[in-house]
Amino acid sequence: MSRAAKDNVMLSTDEQEIWAAIEYWTKQLKQVEKLLFPVTLNILFTLIVWIGVYQTKTDSNSVFYYMLDPKHNHTTGNEIVDGMVNGIGCVLMLAVISFALLAMALYDYKRLVQMWLYMSCLLIIFGVFTSFIIDLFKACGFQNAPPILTTIIVVTYGTVGILVFFTKKTPLYMHQFYVISNCSLVSVFYLRMFPTHTAWFVLVCIIVWDAFAVLAPIGPLRRINEKAHEYSDQVLRFLMFTAEDTNDEPCEEIEATHKCIRRRKTACSKNDIPVEIVQKICAKFKITNDRRSDETNFTVYDALNDGSSVRLGMGDFVFYSLLVGKAAATHSAMCVAGSIVGILVGLVITLTIFSSDETSPALPVSITIALLLHFGIYLFVEPFYNQIVITPKLFILL
């Protein structure tokens, strides 16, 4: 082979590698784009509720009774130590629940796992939402929430929520709305119930826990993949936000086949066709329908590894909003902006650089960057900025 031919082959190989890299990064950035907007929307909705309804104030009368709090009798006498103990305790409780659910899944207690998911969902769409509506009415100037109007709003929201989470009859955007809404309300609930410094230590501990749960060989989220093929993809509706789902499209084909079978049966019943022919036609369409049903019987494993759907866990939304909500409690716009930027930058890094064929933890990078930016701004940038602003005023007064 001549030198020119070899050079052409090398150039061709280099071009292929470049185009492959461009195609890969384009795909990754499209996935990021599909998640950045809902994450931002969730954070903004949390801020609206947290600031507009609750004025970024915790409820000292409703703090979890098992937590240490200087405002109650249960305390070590130091707010920092109280927060550290509370944060570690919360994550340990999360670990116990996660391993309990893992044990139930590994030992085929499917009903218990499903009941846990169902009850958690109902508790949020009825219980947490009711608490929010009552507080919203009080924030609007009502001494007590109107019982009839409150009941109508809660029943309507809850009924639609049941259709969204328990069936596939609603469009995807309805599920997306409920996930964003529910995660924001849960975040605000934790912001209200956690004592002063507890949320910060929860966020620090959750970085370690999320990395362990997803990446460690004995991590519950990693081990649960062993049973993912035994659960319908419907389970993911209770656990994850789906930016784009292509698995629901084949269901239309199945429904069309059902209609075709019903038309055939009706036509056969009206005409005097022998029963044997009718049975053969129906059996033929039943076999076709069964094949399509098998092809479209997606499991959790299939949904998570289909390579087209973009998903993010509901817990990720909750902790993102929890961090920004705590930043808002400092009444610093720069801290809030820094936290939001840190979360979004961390999400971009997670979904591009650290993404792989396996599930990647979405919290460690985002929470770490956001915490560093928040405390960097709060402890160093803001005091320096205030000093710059105050100094000219002092010179003017002098």
Amino acid at 159: T
Q: Which residue, chain included where needed, has tokens 């599909």?
A: 34
Query: Cβ contacts of residue 112 below 8 Å, gap of 6+?
Result: 104
Look up residue 321 and give its two tokens.
Answer: 């909003």
Length of the chain: 398
Burial of 333 (0-12, 13-18, 19+ CB in 10 A): exposed
Active-site positions read 210, 316
C-alpha 374/C-alpha 290 separation (Å) is 55
Residue 295, φ and ψ in degrees, nearest 5: -65, -30
Contact 94, 214 (CB under 8 A): no
Contact 313, 16 (CB under 8 A): no
Look up residue 183 and give its two tokens.
Answer: 């995660």
Look up residue 195 and give its two tokens.
Answer: 């004592």
Helix (H, G, I), strand (E, B) or coil at 21: helix
Contact 325, 46 (CB under 8 A): yes
Beta carbons within 10 angstroms of residue 8's beta carbon = 12
Look up residue 78 and give its two tokens.
Answer: 């130091």
The candidate with the shortest Cα–Cα distance to 321, out of 341, 340, 346, is 340
Contact 363, 319 (CB under 8 A): yes
